[in-house]
Amino acid sequence: MFVDSVRIYIKPGNGGKGAISFRREKGVPNGGPDGGNGGRGGSIVFHPTRDLNNLVSFRFTSHYKAQNGEQGQGSNMNGKSGKDLVIAVPQGTIVKDFETGKVIADLFYADKDYVLLHGGSGGKGNCFFKSSTRQAPHFSQTGEETKERSVVLELKTLADVGLIGYPNVGKSTLLSVISNARPKIANYHFTTLSPNLGVVKYFEHSFVVADIPGLIEGASEGQGLGIEFLKHIERTRILVHVIDISEADGREPYNDYLVINKELKNFNEKISKLPQIIVLNKIDMIRDFSKVDEFKYKLNDKNAKIVCVSALCRENIEELVRVIWKELEKLPAQVPVDVEEFGFDEQDKTAITVKKVAKGEYEVGGGFIDNIARGIIVSDYESLAYFWKRLKNDGVIDILKEKGVQDGDTIRIGKIDFEYIE
């Protein structure tokens, strides 16, 4: 089974809770707070590798969760950070946000890890909240809780050259004789059910060739297998258009050329403008070269690169490899796709929102509130006083007043309701 697009769910680890602890030693009757901070949660990391060429494993496992950070301990001992979850994917995988469809990352370079979601911050221990006026805080901060996100993984084959053409024109055979690839080869349509990659050596140089299966008339509209695999030639630098010059399947070579190019244009205008080398294959099956001359006459393009070969008999293969390499030398190297910056993993911990939801009721939220609210212990006077002081010092109370809050009104922060008192 070949899978090149999947939806998965990923969740970084939560931060560990800060500890509430006090120093207890013989001869030290009034030991101060010594609660350590919680550990940071593990991050979600993607690892692109050349060892994979398929996303099929994600069909069986779609939920991925990194390890949570551990709770802080006494004696100012911080909790252990959670382990990052490293997810191996094929090189060339593109990661998209499921909700917006925007590209988050192009995992273009092998072995270059990408941190997609960072783990939650650990909570502060009670030692952090010690001050000259609050010498024995009996509260700490909980760890930052992370949210599960959904992304789409889409594999776009990384190859310098894309082999295109009708089924059964000899693309797989050609790939097997010019490269180290060993694709399945048989004399019937749609033998190849997934893109095959091969590395071609040309003296001290090398390049990657991909056999793109399933192109027929109507491929860009979903006919055959083409719509599934046309996207795999979006990264290629040059196309090798393989045509059966022997007319073994009863099709006319020049018409095949026109049909396939029409499908490329219908799918993606950019792909249709890629340089092409035309390979007239199966010359071992024709008695004379009048068909070759007829094709060149109809094409009527003096600048066209045309190479006649027999992949089965390995005839003129070296010349084809030479022509491909010479054309590749003229072209720029592959580059990753543009990534849209939209803050997929960013959290604004300074944002404050105040909204009047009903008469005498106000709702306060935002990243800043979510962050400091992790230290609220409603039953603890010092905790509540610290929280209210932060609201006042950081301007939240002023914003509430601007919104018209009155004495006795209800202020809702998360799941907790407070009565506003002047």
Instruction: Provide the CATH number for the domain around residue 410.
Output: 3.30.300.350
70 and 147 assigned to the same domain: yes
Which structural domain, as residue segments, surrounds residue 390?
353-419
The reported pLDDT for the residue numbered 28 is: 64
Which is more confidently placed, 132 or 292? 292
What was the pLDDT predicted at 219? 47
Same-domain status, 152 and 165: no
For the chain, the domain total comes to: 3
Confirm whether 347 is domain-assigned.
no
Considering the domain architecture, whether residues 28 and 173 belong to the same structural domain is answered as no
pLDDT value for 114: 94
Q: Per the domain annotation, does 209 fall within a domain?
A: yes
Strand partners, 5: 154
Instruction: Give every CB contact of residue 112 below 8 A, 6+ residues apart in sequence.
Output: 48
Confidence of residue 188 (pLDDT cuts 50, 70, 90): very low
- Scanning 224-347, the segments in alpha helix (DSSP H) are 226-229, 253-267, 269-272, 290-299, 317-329
Helix, strand and coil in the chain, % to nearest 5: 25, 25, 50
Query: Which domain-ending residue is among 107, 130, 156?
Result: 156
| pLDDT tens digit sequence for 215-234 | 656 544 555 555 566 777 77
Q: Are residues 390 and 278 in the same domain?
A: no
Query: Is residue 151 domain-shared with residue 173, that is, in the same domain?
Result: no
pLDDT at 298 over 90: yes
Whether 296 and 217 share a structural domain: yes
The answer as to whether 336 is a domain residue is no
pLDDT in tens, 72-97: 999 899 999 999 999 999 998 999 99
Q: Is residue 32 part of a domain?
A: yes
Count of CB atoms situated within 10 Å of the CB of 303: 4
Tell me the pLDDT tens digit for each residue of 143-154: 988 999 999 998
Query: What digits encode the pLDDT tens for the residues 103-137?
Result: 899 999 999 999 999 999 999 998 988 888 788 88
Residue 317 within any structural domain of the chain: yes
Residues 217 and 319 in one domain: yes
